[in-house]
Amino acid sequence: MVNYLAYPEDINSNPEVTGWATTNHSDEWIKPDTANKKVMLFVPQTDTEYDFVLMTTEDNTGYKLSFAARSQKQLSTLPERNYTGPKVSVNELLLMESEDFC
């Protein structure tokens, strides 16, 4: 989803997109040492491959998740971005007034 939002089709824009999740041992590509951790997912600003996202765990270990290789690879250097939690909580969003456009 992060990659799709970072490269929208038919829209001339290059937004910076960040997503947050908690990994699970049953998630595809997740290895045991990264299971059950809060993670931040993003596309680096310098991306030229368009087929991966970077993942930083809550303990600031960086990984590259490749769509082409369908794999997780730990980065040998520090993560490109340190983990930070989301700026808005889901509970705050639930309290906001909204309107459906169905």
pLDDT score of 102: 67
pLDDT at 71: 65
Question: What is residue 27's predicted lDDT score, i.e. its pLDDT?
Answer: 82
pTM: predicted TM-score of the whole model, two decimal places: 0.76
Domain positions in the chain? 2-82
Q: pLDDT 10s per residue in the chain (102 long)?
A: 787 778 778 877 777 889 999 999 888 778 888 899 999 999 988 888 888 889 999 999 998 888 876 666 776 678 889 999 998 887 888 888 877 776
> How many CB atoms are located within 10 Å of the residue 102 CB?
3
Q: Which CA distances in Å does 96 have to 8, 22, 36, 85, 99?
A: 27, 24, 29, 20, 10
Residue 22, pLDDT score = 94
* pLDDT computed for residue 82 by the predictor: 94
